A and B are shown apart, each in its own frame.
Chain A
Amino acid sequence: MLITLIEKELKAILQSPKFVATFAVCSLLMLLSVFIGIKEFQAQQKQYDVAVSLSEQGIQESTSWRGMSYKAYRKPDPMQIFVSGLTNDIGRWSHISQESSVKLRNSVYSDDPIFSVFRFIDFAFIVQVVLSLFAILFTYDAICGERENGTLKLLFSNAIKRSHYIIAKCVGSWLGLVVPIMIPILLSVLMVIAFGISLEGSDWLKLFGLMSMSIFLFTFFIVLGVFISSLTRRSNISFLFALVIWVTFVLIIPRAGVMAAGQILPVPRVAEIEGQRDAFAKDKWAIFNEKSMARWDSYNQNTSEDSDSSCGSNFVFDENELWEHMQKEDSARKIVEREIEAYETRLQEDLQQRKSGQERLAFSLSRFSPSSAYQLAAMTLAGTDINLKSRNIEVMNNYRTQFNNYVDNKISETNDLSGVFMIEISSDDGVKMNNKRDEQTIDASDMPKYIPAKSSMRQSIDALIIDGGLLGLFIILAFAGAFLRMQKYDVR
């Protein structure tokens, strides 16, 4: 009986006229998005290869250890084909040198702002927006539509368990929608292979994870549609209802989560932090100045007393005493400077902490929507998540330490004075500027190699467990809702 019911749902979907059209549009969009993703990735990969070899060439051609600088590039990740995430928002490279600190520059969007207007349409976007709509479109009238048609009455004049009916609705719709959608999904993976994009073992796992999450989200919207169809008796009301819920889940909650987090856990702006620091510094300096004046007065008094006792109007300048006073003043000033610096560090740390707290809250809130849970998991799996920047900066900073140590060693080893201008003064030639070992290049073959950051498997697994589990929970809730509603549903 259950099999018959499931079979019918499956047939009903596959035979419905809207199926072919909708399915074709979804497949086309999905394949197109992956195609664009591949092209974009290949362009970035090429740019990356050229840039890295240029950067290495630059090192080989440099003539001096001093002022040596390396350009470290963020490596494009093939997973960004499917989920571009933040990859286009974040700078592609940074200087690694003793002088300047690590800072990522030249993001795709900053170079070509036109793209940032509409952003890239990627696979994850198609799943999140188009596929979810596709699912809802086929299931919003699953039950109320049958009631309106009158088939529900005929159906339940037979000995059918309501639980079987609702299970069949969900399973049948699932099979009818998920199995066909596997075709474009598999085709897009094949396309990646056909375009010769090399994926490592971990990439395959992540890709598999991403596809599973996509199917999970799709499943959720299928079951949600069935649930909504059990809440109303008329399909046009259920359609409106489904649309409102879809907009809430896909468009509102993800944004509202972030906005609410901003309200609940406000994070001070940079200008505010600077203002706080300046105010603190001003106070400190005011106190210092006051004290300094007092000290100067007492110093003057002491010296004038001394001079009084000796020769009257004849002022004797005690150089040692003044020097001592100046030194005291100087160390007092340094103490104040350190205090201000420590205060600023505290402010920054506090800011970072609040920022990550806000981030956590924002993500927790937006996870009330399965689509943002999906989005977060997809970005983590693709390594284009919110940590993309910090992950790269951390690796670059570590490398910078290595790089600087290496360069320092080289400088002391070779007693390198290159880059330092020597000014020789001789009676014969007059003044002569000399840059030692000008033409000779240095041997940097043993320089530590820069290994670009890659998203960790561990994070991906965490995302799969947390967000996958969350999606699973949402599916169970929607199914439980539909199941309970069906028990009492008036079939007339």
Chain B
Amino acid sequence: MSENILTIEKPRLEAINLTKRYRDGVLALDNISFSVQPGEIFVMLGGNGAGKTTTINLFLNFIEPTEGEARIDGIITHKDPLAAKERVSFVSENVMLYGDFTAVQNLDYFSRIGGQSEYTKDDYRDALLRVNLAEEAHHKKLRGFSKGMRQKCGIAIAILKGAPAILLDEPTSGLDPKAGHDFIHLLKSLQKEGKSILMSTHDIFRAKAIADTIAIMNNGRIIMLKKSSELAGCNLEELYMQYMTGHDGQRLAG
């Protein structure tokens, strides 16, 4: 798992002609391709039902692609899911953990499951402090946690796994403004460690603040894919609205 920020040629996450048609006929993803380099933050924007969660689920092999493939470090996820999953951490839009276990017990369990069995109590404490979970909550049962507290635990678990790629599906939903702000810093520091981050969000401002690359998705297609450097100075919200209406207009016309 050596990560080299300089090997730009070898993408860590890759979607190649990824297509997913659900069994009920819905075409959720229509031939999308993109790649995420080590140390890159890739943000997916898009309305409800655009296909963001479907993309992340394909990287985790929760579903199989109808066509194309998702790769992690060159490993095709639906061919060798176990090897692929060793290289990725995941934070869902609504992190759920074991209610009868404390925060630390949950961290301990999921770290072991993630292949990290040599962590100590201090490591768990540090990880929880890093995501700004107040210390008095560390040994409380998860049952009583708020959504934001759970989200923080989920992020701590993802950090502890130490995988080179991190997939986040609307991770900031449920975080208070301060926590959302802290979260951006956290992602930046993970980026500095060389992690590749693929994240979906509805929060255009945060997206602009942290993304290296932004993809706007609609109806299972990437309708805009731009580096943050290309977007410097322009109003992303306006651009987003333009793309969305423009695309919809196109669809209505066609």
Contacts and interface: CB of A to CB of B under 8 A. Distances in A.
Nearest to A3: B112
B100 interface: yes
Contacts of A12: 98, 100-101
Contacts of B110: 154-155, 158
B96 A149 contact: yes
Contact of A4 (B57, B83, B86, B109): B109
Nearest to B141: A15
B113 A158 contact: yes
Interface centre among B83, B95, B167 (most CB of A within 10 A): B95
Interface in B86-109: 86, 88-90, 92, 94-101, 105, 109
A446 B122 CA distance: 86
Interface in A1-39: 1, 4-5, 8, 11-12, 15-17
B113 A155 contact: yes
B85 interface: yes
A486 to B, nearest CB: 14
Nearest to B161: A158
Interface in A113-162: 149-151, 153-161
A154 B92 contact: yes
A12 B98 CA distance: 8
A16 B141 CA distance: 11
Interface string A410-452: 0000000000000000000000000000000000000000000
A8 B99 CA distance: 13
Contact of B90 (A1, A5, A154, A490): A154
A336 B88 CA distance: 95
B114 interface: yes
Contacts of B113: 1, 4-5, 155, 158, 160
B157 interface: yes
A15 B142 CA distance: 13
A491 interface: yes
A325 interface: no
Given A15-B101, A492-B57, A151 B96 contact: yes
Interface in A145-190: 149-151, 153-161
Contact of B62 (A1, A17, A153): A153
A1 B116 CA distance: 10
Contacts of B109: 4, 8
Nearest to A165: B113
B28 to A, nearest CB: 13
Nearest to A149: B96
B129 interface: no
A259 B110 CA distance: 53
Nearest to A491: B62
B82 A153 contact: no
Contacts of B96: 149-151, 153-154
Given A1-B113, A15-B100, A154 B157 contact: yes
Given A159-B115, A491-B62, A153 B92 contact: yes
Contacts of A160: 82, 113
A159 B163 CA distance: 12
A48 to B, nearest CB: 52
B220 interface: no
Interface in B49-81: 57, 60, 62-63, 81
Interface centre among A1, A157, A490 (most CB of B within 10 A): A157
B85 A158 contact: yes
B154 interface: yes
A150 B94 contact: yes
Given A153-B62, A154-B90, A157-B60, A4 B98 contact: no
A492 B112 contact: no
A149 B110 CA distance: 15
A8 B114 CA distance: 14
Given A15-B100, A154-B92, A159-B85, A4 B112 contact: yes
Contacts of B63: 490, 492
Contacts of A492: 57, 62-63
A157 B90 contact: yes
A8 B85 CA distance: 21
Nearest to B90: A157
Interface string B36-59: 000000000000000000000100
Given A12-B100, A153-B62, A154-B154, A161 B95 contact: no
30 contacts: A1-B112, A1-B113, A4-B113, A5-B113, A8-B98, A8-B109, A11-B105, A12-B98, A12-B100, A15-B100, A15-B101, A149-B98, A150-B94, A150-B95, A151-B96, A153-B62, A153-B90, A154-B90, A154-B92, A154-B97, A154-B157, A155-B110, A155-B113, A157-B85, A157-B89, A158-B113, A159-B81, A160-B113, A490-B62, A492-B57
Interface of B: 57, 60, 62-63, 81-83, 85-86, 88-90, 92, 94-101, 105, 109-110, 112-115, 117, 154, 157, 161, 167
Interface of A: 1, 4-5, 8, 11-12, 15-17, 149-151, 153-161, 490-492
Given A156-B62, A156-B85, A159-B115, 14 more contacts: A149-B96, A150-B94, A151-B96, A151-B98, A153-B62, A154-B90, A154-B95, A154-B97, A154-B110, A157-B60, A158-B161, A159-B83, A491-B62, A492-B57
